[in-house]
Amino acid sequence: MSTDSLAKCSLNSRMHLLLIEDDAEAAKYLAKGLRESGYTVDVAANGRDGLFQATEQQYELIIADRQLPHIDGLTIVQMLRRQGSKVPVLILSALGSVDDRIEGLRAGGDDYLTKPFAFGELTARIEALLRRGPGVAAATRLKVADLEIDLLGRMVTRAGRRIELTTKEFQLLEFLARRQGQVVTRTLLLEGVWDLHFDPQTNVIDVHMSRLRTSIDRDFPKPLIHTVRGAGYVLRDEP
Amino acid sequence: MSTDSLAKCSLNSRMHLLLIEDDAEAAKYLAKGLRESGYTVDVAANGRDGLFQATEQQYELIIADRQLPHIDGLTIVQMLRRQGSKVPVLILSALGSVDDRIEGLRAGGDDYLTKPFAFGELTARIEALLRRGPGVAAATRLKVADLEIDLLGRMVTRAGRRIELTTKEFQLLEFLARRQGQVVTRTLLLEGVWDLHFDPQTNVIDVHMSRLRTSIDRDFPKPLIHTVRGAGYVLRDEP
DNA sequence: CAATTTGGTTAAGAACTCGTAATCCCTGCG
DNA sequence: CGCAGGGATTACGAGTTCTTAACCAAATTG
């Protein structure tokens, strides 16, 4: 099966990652691949910016090169830990030899990966780090009433019938489904689905929500997407 | 990997085992003994590495300690099974109570051995598991709907009709078929089929996918290869 | 060594997505 | 009732992504 599981592991929840890598080309390649795999990726080109962004924003995981301008990867980990942050950090190292300090990372719940590595290996380790502890595998399918979402296959069915969605629609639905029953505010959607941290002054959300609605709810008696006036939207069975 | 690993796994009589054991001394002792018994043995020192290696490579059998750092033995079995792997797994445990045995087997472990044990007993059980039949053997043919792929014969048929493919096309199809139903990203394809670890800045994948499509899907009403915009491709029956 | 096959590149255009903006539609309140 | 404000819907177009055919070089074959 080899990389089977890797593929399987890579299309999960929309997680926010920070990639700290000074080699522009490598950074671009990795970021692209990770985005294809469904992650939201921010990139920092050096240690200083990286550390700043890591403290400024909350990431689910940080991937840092070992050797970086200004501040190297290991130091970033140390500083983050000193600030009380517990974000898992994955160190990319060009060094072949096993460094004691790096070895120590594993104990701290973090991990390292020696270059060159297969992309699949990276996603596998990311998934391993994102798992909330042993035994709790990340979900691969979500269910809301008769609606089923297959994250690996990027497939949605309702009442057994197949529903085609665009990428944005799928992301939006996944975001809602992960918080099913809870009201999701516009701001939350803007950040979680569009990665916008300011008000775009447009009605992007409304438009996409409308599109998603026609796909999900039009041909069915019970709508699953509900508007909460003045607050946001909910995905749930009851009105 | 594709055809390489195939040759490796099916045509080589030397059995490939993965031993996941955190106790370095025990691991060394067992590995040595198993190698003397004619097995090729890889060792992983903790659950995370073990699970990774188990998915990364095709092993005929996996021997895993029950208690491991990061991810324990039973969880490894569960995860492998969830990934569709059928590798026989032998769990080693210091726990001897009946409950533990049941739990271990229910998790999908194929056998259970309580420490301390005689080395002979270990080899006996390994042989039993390996002998236990074709059901556990590595796949030599893959099926997706009416499409059949004979990995050993390097032959493809759809609806009984023979389809001729070039080497690249076959590799591509095999890669997709091994992950049928799952979206395969371009990056993954680039690495898995072309062994390119950077962006080739061309559309090789698209072109070959198009060629594969004309071979596989042109003369049939239901296409099996589907594009997932912005992500990659899937091989599956449904649209 | 010519002929054929194979695999990578280029490029044109087809198909599709997504954001904007204009318009319509509620809902609640004065 | 009519108005205001939030929300829904629709159409459009720019930009992107995918498909395909044609081309060429390298490898393979007779």
Report pLDDT digits (tens) over B16-34: 899 999 888 788 878 877 8
The answer to whether the CB atoms of A4 and B179 lie below 8 A apart is yes
Scanning A37-179, the segments in alpha helix (DSSP H) are 47-56, 73-82, 100-107, 119-130, 167-178
**In angstroms, how far is CA B126 from the centroid of its own chain?**
19
- What pLDDT shows up at residue A44? 93
- SS3 assignment, position B22: coil
Q: How far is the CA of A228 from the C1' of D11 (A)?
A: 27
Q: Which residues of B touch A25 (CB under 8 A)?
A: 198
- The partner residues of B184 in beta bridges, in order of sequence, read B233
pLDDT at residue A1, as a whole number: 36
Q: Which pLDDT belongs to residue B97?
A: 42
Q: Exposure of B149 by Cβ count < 10 A (0-12 exposed, 13-18 middle, 19+ buried)?
A: buried
Candidate ranges A117-121, B54-58, B133-137; pick with highest mean pLDDT:
B54-58
Mean pLDDT of B200-227: 92
Provide the strand spans (E) within B55-214.
61-65, 89-93, 111-114, 141-144, 147-150, 155-158, 161-163, 184-185
Question: For B92-105, what is each residue's pLDDT tens digit?
Answer: 876 544 444 445 55
pLDDT of residue B115: 64
For the segment A205-225, what is each residue's pLDDT rounded down to a tens digit?
Answer: 999 999 999 999 998 988 999
Q: Mean pLDDT, to the nearest integer, of B72-77?
A: 83
- State which nucleotides on strand C lie below 7 Å from a protein beta carbon: 5-11, 16-22
Mean pLDDT over B194-205 rounds to 85
How confident is the model over A29-67, as pLDDT tens digits?
899 999 988 888 999 999 999 999 999 888 889 999 988
CA distance B42 to chain A (A): 15
Residue B168 C-alpha, separation from nearest chain A C-alpha, in angstroms: 18
Residue B229: is its pLDDT beyond 70? yes
CA A196 to chain B, closest CA, distance in angstroms equals 19
Residues in chain B within 8 Å Cβ distance of A2: 1, 5, 55-58, 178
The answer, as to whether pTM is greater than 0.85, is no
DSSP helix/strand/coil, A17: strand
Give the residue carrying structure tokens 């996918």. Answer: B209
On average, the pLDDT of chain B sits at 78
Span A89-128, pLDDT tens digits: 888 877 655 555 555 565 565 777 767 676 876 876 787 6
Nucleotide lying nearest to B233, CA to C1' measure: D18
Strand C contact with A168 (CB < 7 A): yes
